[in-house]
Structure formats: structure tokens, C-alpha cells
Amino acid sequence: MTVLITSITPKGASSIFFKSGLLNARAVPTTVRLRPLVVGYHKLPLSSVRQFSVTSNQSLPREFFPENETEKVRRTPAAWPHPIYTEEQMRAVVIAHRDAKTWSDKVALIAVRVMRWGLDLATGYKHHQPMTAYQYLRRNVFLESVAGVPGMVAGMLRHLHSMRRMKRDNGWIETLLEESYNERMHLLVFLKMMEPGLFMRLMVLGAQGVMCNAMFLAYLLSPRTVHRFVGYLEEEAVITYTRQIQDLEVGRLPEWEKLQAPQIAVDYWKMPVGKRTMRDLLLYIRADESKHRETNHTLGNLDQKEDPNPYVSEYKDDKPHPSKDLAFQKPTGWERSEVI
């Protein structure tokens, strides 16, 4: 049996169907007064009865996509364990920009500005206007769904190139794939707080299709330009997350003030007890983006065919050198003369 319940609110009337005897009182806000109105009975199969949520899409926090436990499969450690960051190191991350010196740099910078305009338009991001927590999450989900593409495409092409030439790749493939893996982890974390709708999924599908093909062709033509492009793109990501952190700290995002990081984030970044808030989560993600910024600017400075990857190399002296953690930060990248 189903019963039609009409709720009267100041904005008008809305109706919900529920299975007789199965009404979940927690799904109905205490501020809504319900007036029962029986209009008839008819039998419906259980599969056809859908839950109607009266919770706003912009309500936070809410965790989506719960983990599925199985009897025979155990959860394993991450393929690439994340390096440990200290709060001092994450706080030391700054907004920075590398000047475009060559034609390759200028092409990459122009491409990033065009892409930034498209991302802003698609996600409703306005740099000089207040943003809500929901708007930030929507942008983060879309941004991270695209950000994981370049590293995967570049890693795949270098992998095929290594096999085709029957030569070693000098350590580049692992770093590129690890970068893509890290960006996907950012996406999975944000998906714990927001469930994208059909329109967002279609936008992501289209964006990935364009991005994959564009990166594939661009990396075949000029790998250096692609690395510079990603470096400039990560500069924009650092700006975006810096603004989110600032808005949270000054009280513009009350939904996030007491929000705790999802367990997937705690496990991946090994977040210490007492440092697992949304602010801490944004600090970790911004630090990752700053590392991608440095890495790609550095790779863009090297000989794409012969130079070893400095982020997986051991050096003979005790001077500061590129590393996977934040020990020695170079926002605009390491010059070739400093690492080769």
C-alpha cells in the first residue's frame, strides 16, 4: 500500500510517496509539518518505490559511495604510498608563476588560460565573487576528473615509446603514472562529499574525451610543451585551493568548519589524529598540486629523450635536490643545470 502525504510549507505544498509502515522519520525535517491526506490506495512493487529526499543538494556533509565489504577480498595498501607532509611544509606552499620564456612556454600558457576559462564557465566559478561550499565541491570534482588525464596519457606514450625503441625510459613513466593516481585519489575523496548528477557526468565524459585526444596528439608533437602546460595548469589549481583555505579560515564556509575528512583521505595521506578536518584535507591537496606544478615545470626543463627523471634519482652530493616530498620546494621548477 502507498499513502500520499502532503506537507504544507511557506513556499507551497510538496508531496512524497512512502511505503506504508516503512516511513523513515529521520528523512523528514522537524521543521516541516505533515498533514495526512489519504487519496486512495493501489499496490506497487517494492522496486518501483523510490525514496524522495527533502534534503537540499547543497546540504553538507553527506557521504556517498560507501565501501563494499566482501568475504574474500581484503583492502590493500595504495600502489604508490604517499610521502609524509608536515603542516609547516604545507603552510609554506605559495602561489607562484613561471614566466613564459620560449614559444613553447607561450603556447602552453595560452592553452591553460583558454582551458581555465572553460572550466570556470562549466563549473560556475567566479574568482572575485563569494562561492559556497557546494559550488567549490562541484568545481573540485570536475577539476580533478580532468587533472588525472595528462599524467596517464604521457605515461602511456612513454611506456609505448620505451618498448618501441627497446630502451629504458630513465624513470619518467613511474612519476607520470603516480601523478595521475594522486589526482584520481583527490577525485575519490571529493566524491565522498558530493554525488554528481547526470549533467555533471556528461560534462566530465566530454571533457575527458577532448582532453585525452588533445594530450595524446600534443605529447607526440612536443612533450616539453605538455609538461609546461601541466605546470601552468597546476599553478591555477594552487590558486583555487588557496582561496578555499582562506575562505574556510575566515568563516565564509560554515559547512566545512566542523567537517571531518573521509576515511579514504585519512588512510591515503596518513593524516594524524587531531589533524583530520576539512582545512587539513585542503592543505594536503593543495600541497599535492604544488608538487605537480614543480614536477612538470622541472620535466619541461629537461631533455625529453635522454635526461633521467630527477625525482627518482640518487645524487652523489649533499645539496638540495628534487624529491617526492616537500623537503625542498621549488614552485617554478628546477632548472636543468641544477639537476643534471
pLDDT tens by residue, the chain, 340 residues: 444 444 444 444 444 433 344 444 444 444 444 444 434 334 334 333 333 233 344 444 455 556 666 778 777 777 889 999 999 999 999 999 999 999 999 999 999 999 989 888 877 887 778 899 999 999 999 999 999 999 999 999 999 999 998 988 999 999 999 999 999 999 999 999 988 889 889 989 998 999 999 999 999 999 999 999 999 999 999 999 999 999 999 999 999 999 999 999 999 999 999 999 999 999 999 999 999 999 999 999 999 989 999 999 888 888 889 999 999 999 999 999 999 8
Query: Buried (b) or exposed (e) across 31-40, using 16+ Cβ within 10 A?
Result: eeeeeeeeee
Burial of 22 (0-12, 13-18, 19+ CB in 10 A): exposed
List C-alpha distances in Å: 238 to 6, 159, 283: 48, 29, 10
CB 246 within 8 A of CB 230: no
Q: How far apart are CA 142 and CA 122, in angstroms?
A: 9
Phi-psi label, residue 333: left if phi above 0, alpha if psi -120 to 50, beta otherwise: left
Burial of 222 (0-12, 13-18, 19+ CB in 10 A): middle
Residue 61: predicted pLDDT = 47
**Which is nearest to 328 in space by CA: 315, 263, 279?**
315
Per-domain residue ranges for the chain?
A: 103-306
- Residue ranges at the known binding site for Fe cation: 144, 183, 186, 234, 289, 292
Q: How far apart are CA 230 and CA 175, in angstroms?
A: 14
Residue 195: predicted pLDDT = 85
- Residue ranges at the known binding site: 144, 183, 186, 234, 289, 292
Q: Coil, helix or strand for 123?
A: helix
Residue 161: predicted pLDDT = 93
CB 233 within 8 A of CB 115: yes
Q: How far apart are CA 116 and CA 101, in angstroms?
A: 21
DSSP secondary-structure letter at 310? G
Residue 71: predicted pLDDT = 79
Q: The domain 103-306: what is its CATH number?
A: 1.20.1260.140
Q: How far apart are CA 82 and CA 178, in angstroms?
A: 10
Query: Buried (b) or exposed (e) across 173-193, using 16+ Cβ within 10 A?
Result: bebbbbbbbbbbbbbebbbbb
Residue 226: predicted pLDDT = 97
Question: In the chain, at which residue ranges do the beta strands (DSSP E only) sit?
Answer: 2-9, 12-19, 33-36
In the chain, the N- to C-terminal Cα span, in Å, equals 75
Phi, psi of 41 (to 5 degrees): -130, 140
Q: How far apart are CA 31 and CA 241, in angstroms?
A: 35
Residue 136: predicted pLDDT = 93
